[in-house]
Amino acid sequence: MGQSERVATFRALHQGGCFVIPNPWDAGSARTLVKLGFPALASTSTGMAWSLGMSDHQVSLDAVLEHLRALVRAVDVPINADFEDGYASEPEAVGENVAAAVETGIAGVSIEDSTHDPDEPLYEFGLAVDRVRAARAAIDASGSGVLLVGRSEGFIAGRPDLDETVRRLVAYSEAGADCLYAPGIRTDEQIRAVVAAVAPKPVNVLVSSDFTTVARLAELGVRRISVGGGLARAAWGGFLAAATELAEHGTFGNFASAASSSEIEGSFSAG
C-alpha cells in the first residue's frame, strides 16, 4: 500500500465511529498488532527510546526518521508518527522536520507543545500556534494529505488547566490540525469539554492505565484511542519480573507465563 492509499484509509477512519490506534515500538510489535486486526498504528517515542536503552526525548531526529521508515516498511497499514515537538523550537525548523517525516511514508504526524523545560513546560501560546501552522504548511506543500494532529501537553507537563488546554486545542484546530489530542485528560467532564470544543474535528484520547473502556470513550464522542508507551511498559514489566527473579532467586517461575516461540513468530508472520 502506497502513502496515498494509507493516507486515504487513515482519513476515512477519522470520519466516524471510534477506533484504537495502538503504539508499537519496533517491526515485530507492529506486525503483531496488525495481525490482531488493528487498522492503523502510531509510533511511541517512549517505547522506541527504551528499545535503544535511552530515556524519552533523547533520540535524535535522524534515528526517529529511520524508525518511521522501518515501521512503514514493516506493515501495510497507516502509521501516525509521534513526532514530539517537531524536534525544533522555531516554526520554520518544525516545518522542515515535518517535511522530512512526511517523506518516510507516514499517514499522520503529531506535534506537541511541550518544551520539556520544567520551568516553562509549554511553548508560549502564539509560538505554539505558529508551530502547528508551520507543520500544516509543510504537509500542504508536500501534497501528501498527511493528517496533522495537534497536541496540548499541559495535563502531563505539570499544567493541568482544562480551560487553557481547550484554548490551545481550538487554536491548533484553527491553525490546521486535523485531529486534536490532550494526553492526560481522564474524566468524563474533561473529555466531553475537549470533544465539544473542537467538534466536528476528531479527538484522540490517551489510555495508559485502566481508567476507562473503548465503549465508554466512544459514548463520549472520542474518535480514536492511543496507548502511548502502555504496551511497551507491559512488555518491559514481564521482562523485568522474569529477569529480577533470575538475578535475585536463581529461579525461572516467570517463564511459565511467557509466550512460546511459535506464538511469537506466528503473531507477526504473514498470513
Is residue 126 in some structural domain? yes
- Cβ atoms of residues 73 and 97 within 8 Å: no
pLDDT confidence bin for 270, thresholds 50/70/90 = low
Report pLDDT for 78.
98
Is residue 249 in some structural domain? no
Is residue 238 in some structural domain? no
Number of domains in the chain: 1
Report pLDDT for 73.
98
Q: What percent of the chain has pLDDT over 90?
A: 98
Report pLDDT for 268.
84
Q: What percent of the chain has pLDDT over 70?
A: 99
CATH of the domain at 217: 3.20.20.60
pLDDT digits (tens, 9 = 90+) for 179-229: 999 999 999 999 999 999 999 999 999 999 999 999 999 999 999 999 999
Is residue 165 in some structural domain? yes
pLDDT digits (tens, 9 = 90+) for 135-192: 999 999 999 999 999 999 999 999 999 999 999 999 999 999 999 999 999 999 999 9
Nearest to 223 by CA among 18, 10, 20: 18
Is residue 243 in some structural domain? no
For the segment 49-76, the average pLDDT, to the nearest whole number, is 97
Q: Which three cell numbers stand for residue 71?
A: 515501521
Nearest to 131 by CA among 82, 97, 103, 182: 97
pLDDT confidence bin for 1, thresholds 50/70/90 = confident
Is residue 167 in some structural domain? yes
- Cβ atoms of residues 223 and 203 within 8 Å: yes
Average pLDDT, the chain: 97
Q: Which domain holds residue 68?
A: 3-229
Report the predicted TM-score, pTM, of the whole model to 2 decimal places: 0.96
Is residue 71 in some structural domain? yes
Is residue 237 in some structural domain? no
pLDDT digits (tens, 9 = 90+) for 99-118: 999 999 999 999 999 999 99
| pLDDT beyond 90 at 66 | yes
Segment holding 193, helix H or strand E: helix 188-198
